[in-house]
Amino acid sequence: MWLHQQLPDPTAVVSALVNRDAGERMATELVAALASAGSTLMFGFPGGGSNLDVVGAAERAGLRFVLTHGETAAAVMAGVAAELTRLPSACLVTRGPGVASAANGVAQALLDRQPILVVSDCVEEASRARVSHQRLDQRALMATVTKASLRYGPHDPDVPARAIELACRGRPGPVHLDFDPTASASDPVPPAEGDLAGCLDSVAAVIRAARRPVLVAGVGAPALDRLLATPIPVLTTYKARGVVPDDGPHAAGVVTGATVEAPLLAAADVIIGIGLDPVELIPAQWPYLAPVVLLGSWAIDDSNYFCERLAGEVVGDLPELVEDVAGRVQSTWSPDDARSFRRKGLDAIRAAVPTDPAGLTPQDVVTIARSAAPAGTIATIDAGAHMLAAVPLWEVDGPGQVLISNGLSTMGFALPAAVAAALVERSRPVVCFTGDGGLGTALAELETLARLGLKVIVVVFNDAALSLIAIKQRPEGQGGPDAVTYARSDFAAVAAGFGIRAERVADTHEYRRALEAAFAHDGPSLLDVDVDPSAYPAILAAIRGPAGPGD
């Protein structure tokens, strides 16, 4: 009797073998769909079971799997890879805590319009009745931060390809698949948006009547310098930095929805958004009187942002629409007007310095790094006060040279973004600008950087504080210094423990020397920079006004 009880159930053994075969077949189909779409990288933090089937299938297909220390970082890396290549990328996570941890990075991809496929294992249908451990309604959780969250089972081999198409078509964004080799059926994949061929006839009169047009380029904008022959000023959101070169005749500075761009937009008689999505603008009232025309590859989420100023929205092939606009619009701007507006904005940011700084100013950290870096160097920039200086002061001559979380503005973005950028753009150095708070949220990915041996220079603005939040904190009733300050950390020592070349610097001479050595080093470096935060309130006031609304 005892021996009989210890023998395996033949039915269970057969079922396990069938499920394993189904999982391997599904993994092969999924990876084949990614490879067919042009994906070359997959990022993740796997669990057991079907996750490892996917990793194995990726290895066999030549799709590189990059192991991370966290699911948020994996999703950020996948999103940045997709942004730079303009091809879908993939993020692999385990069930339960893996899916929950990935949510922040997936939300980042959603709001920055990055097409990624998020693949998770799950409590399988065949065992769901008896398993409660790590069982979450993962599709409901992911539905809030994706274009679609779906069950993927063994009987629908076309699901991965259709999910990838959904991620890429229309407004790009993440799609989640719960990978279940025992599922009796897959969820239906919503249809991808069809190609839209828009024309400007509906807004032609507004465009023809204008003499002082201003273009505002956003996350969906193509490179514009070759499409524009007339002297039209172009403002760019943080995500669109580089669509016109900073040293060209069109670059007029950055736009955030606040103060620094106000003189130019107030002087415009039409404002033409090129790939502009209100998700990038801080939540302040749109104050300008000129009519707004939006041109995009996808319809924006919330046209009401511009209220009654919106004269029309045209969705179609964006480079063709821009060429059409360039052929219709008239401009009385002089060739130097855009440069003049940009120069005034930069001068206001540069002038916001303390008389006797204790450590480097944020402006010096950026401009010295920019002068030391080769042309085309990519900068990844974390959320925090330092981004107010880093985004406008990092000079660029093409798209993809500034990477930032703008729609979600999440901390902990810059380091995983730098890893992805260095993997995609192997010939370019990458500078990662991060605050001590942002680095703290992604610190373990320093090991990922070291393990991969990537040419990334991590520059830490170390002031032991959440400086942007401290600026907005009222003197009384909001927690005081304990709510926004940390103990001073030695990030150089931490990085050295991971095997990264690292230094602490406290003045401009040390910083220049350290940067020169870092750019000469064939591998990752970290510079822990003692920064004086007293300039931040004035920088914030120059860009957003004294109130500093939003993040």
Q: Are residues 136 and 65 in the same domain?
A: yes
Domain stop point among 271, 303, 336? 336
Three-state SS at 404? strand
- Residue 81 neighbours by CB under 8 Å, 6+ apart: 41, 43, 89, 420, 423, 424
Residue 374 · residue 327 · CB < 8 Å = no
| Banded model confidence at residue 19, pLDDT cuts 50, 70, 90 | low
For 1-25, the DSSP string reads -HHHHHSPPHHHHHHHHHHHHHHHH
Section 528-536 average pLDDT: 90
Is residue 185 domain-resident?
Answer: no
Domain stop point among 336, 370, 397? 336
Q: Are residues 426 and 474 in the same domain?
A: yes
Q: Are residues 172 and 97 in the same domain?
A: yes
Q: Are residues 227 and 88 in the same domain?
A: no
Q: Are residues 379 and 521 in the same domain?
A: yes
Phi first, then psi, for residue 403 (nearest 5°) are -120, 125
pLDDT at 17 > cutoff 50: no
Is residue 148 domain-resident?
Answer: yes
Specify the pLDDT at position 534. Answer: 86
pLDDT at 300 > cutoff 70: yes
Q: What is the mean pLDDT of the chain?
A: 90
Is residue 238 domain-resident?
Answer: yes
| Banded model confidence at residue 6, pLDDT cuts 50, 70, 90 | low
Q: Are residues 332 and 364 in the same domain?
A: no
pLDDT per residue as tens digits for the range 400-424:
999 999 999 999 999 999 999 999 9
Q: Are residues 395 and 285 in the same domain?
A: no
Is residue 164 domain-resident?
Answer: yes
Specify the pLDDT at position 284. Answer: 81
| Banded model confidence at residue 12, pLDDT cuts 50, 70, 90 | very low
Q: Are residues 364 and 495 in the same domain?
A: yes
Q: Which helix (H) or strand (E) holds 44?
A: strand 41-45
The conformational region for residue 62 under phi > 0 = left, psi -120 to 50 = alpha, else beta, is left
- Please give the single-letter amino acid code of residue 316: G
Section 347-363 average pLDDT: 86
How many alpha carbons lie under 13 Å from residue 345 in its C-beta half-sphere?
Answer: 30
Domain stop point among 179, 210, 244? 179
Q: Are residues 383 and 512 in the same domain?
A: yes
- Residue 175 neighbours by CB under 8 Å, 6+ apart: 116, 117, 118, 146, 147, 148, 149, 150, 163, 164, 166, 167
- Using CA atoms, how far apart are residues 352 and 322, in angstroms rounded to an integer? 36
Q: Give the residue, 18 or 187, on which the prediction is more confident.
A: 187
The Cα-based distances of 174 to 39, 42, 324 in angstroms read 14, 14, 31
Q: What's the token pair of residue 540?
A: 């914030």
The Cα-based distances of 316 to 198, 281, 284, 326, 454 in angstroms read 5, 22, 28, 16, 38
Neighbours of 322 (CB within 10 A): 23
190: DSSP letter:
P
- Using CA atoms, how far apart are residues 168 and 193, in angstroms rounded to an integer? 9
- Using CA atoms, how far apart are residues 183 and 186, in angstroms rounded to an integer? 7
- Using CA atoms, how far apart are residues 101 and 120, in angstroms rounded to an integer? 12
Tell me the CATH number at 385: 3.40.50.970
Is residue 192 domain-resident?
Answer: no
Is residue 8 domain-resident?
Answer: no
Cα angle: 498, vertex 98, 48; to 5 degrees: 90
Q: What's the token pair of residue 17?
A: 């073998």
| Banded model confidence at residue 303, pLDDT cuts 50, 70, 90 | low
pLDDT at 505 > cutoff 90: yes
Q: Give the residue, 474 or 261, on which the prediction is more confident.
A: 261
How far is residue 87 CA from its own chain's centroid? 14
pLDDT per residue as tens digits for the range 133-171:
677 899 999 999 999 999 999 999 999 999 999 999 999
Section 543-550 average pLDDT: 60
Is residue 228 domain-resident?
Answer: yes
Tell me the CATH number at 276: 3.40.50.1220
Cα angle: 76, vertex 80, 86; to 5 degrees: 140
Return the exposure string of 463-497: e unless at least 16 CB atoms fall within 10 Å of the residue's CB, then b. bbbbbbbbbbeeeeeeeeeeebeeeebebbebbbe
Percentages (nearest 5) of helix, strand, coil residues in the chain: 40, 15, 40
pTM given for the model: 0.92
Neighbours of 197 (CB within 10 A): 10
- Using CA atoms, how far apart are residues 153 and 134, in angstroms rounded to an integer? 20
Three-state SS at 460? strand
The total number of structural domains in the chain stands at 3
Burial class of residue 160, CB neighbours in 10 A (0-12, 13-18, 19+): buried
Section 455-463 average pLDDT: 96
pLDDT per residue as tens digits for the range 190-211:
998 877 778 888 898 999 999 9
Q: Are residues 104 and 232 in the same domain?
A: no
Q: Are residues 325 and 367 in the same domain?
A: no
Specify the pLDDT at position 1. Answer: 44
pLDDT per residue as tens digits for the range 231-272:
999 999 999 999 999 999 999 999 988 888 999 999 999 999
Q: Are residues 160 and 55 in the same domain?
A: yes
The Cα-based distances of 531 to 354, 362, 409, 439, 464 in angstroms read 12, 6, 22, 15, 9
Is residue 345 domain-resident?
Answer: no
Section 26-31 average pLDDT: 96
- Using CA atoms, how far apart are residues 175 and 160, in angstroms rounded to an integer? 10
Q: What's the token pair of residue 458?
A: 């991590």
pLDDT at 528 > cutoff 60: yes
| Residue whose structure tokens are 């790094």 | 369
The Cα-based distances of 484 to 353, 437, 469, 477, 479 in angstroms read 22, 10, 7, 13, 8
Section 516-539 average pLDDT: 93
pLDDT per residue as tens digits for the range 58-114:
999 999 999 999 999 999 999 999 999 999 999 999 999 999 999 999 999 999 999
Q: What's the token pair of residue 169?
A: 């078509």
Its domain, for residue 324, covers 200-336
| 152 strand-pairing partners | 179
Helices and strands counted in the chain (H then E) = 20, 18
